[in-house]
Structure 1
Amino acid sequence: MAEHKHGEMDITEQEKTFEGFVTFTVRTVIVIAVGVVLLAFVGA
């Protein structure tokens, strides 16, 4: 079995995937927050 050496793996794809996930999550939260605010104004 090969020795594992910390920090040698290429993680560019994982970093891009994580960045996409964070961007998607932030945008989704903003859309939901705007929707809640609009519902509050309409329901008032």
Structure 2
Amino acid sequence: MMEDHVHGTMDTSEQEKTFEGFVKFSARAVIAFLVVLLLLAMFNA
């Protein structure tokens, strides 16, 4: 029940791991996208 919850006691380690993975994936995707754009610019595609 909701009255059993004590504020600040939730274990958020799984959410933190998931968010860290999302940030890493997003950073790598942006870098890959920029590399593709650079290659397209270099070869006048």
The normalised TM-score by structure 1 is 0.86
- Aligned position for 1:36: 37
| Deviation digits for residues 24-44 of structure 1 (CA, Å, limit 9, x no counterpart) | 000000000000000000007
- Considering only aligned residues, what root-mean-square deviation do their CA atoms show, in Å? 1.6
Identity of aligned residues (%): 57
Task: List 4+ stretches of structure 1 deviating above 2 A.
Answer: 3-6
In the aligned structure 2, how far is the partner of 1:25 from the partner of 1:6? 31
State the number of aligned residues. 44
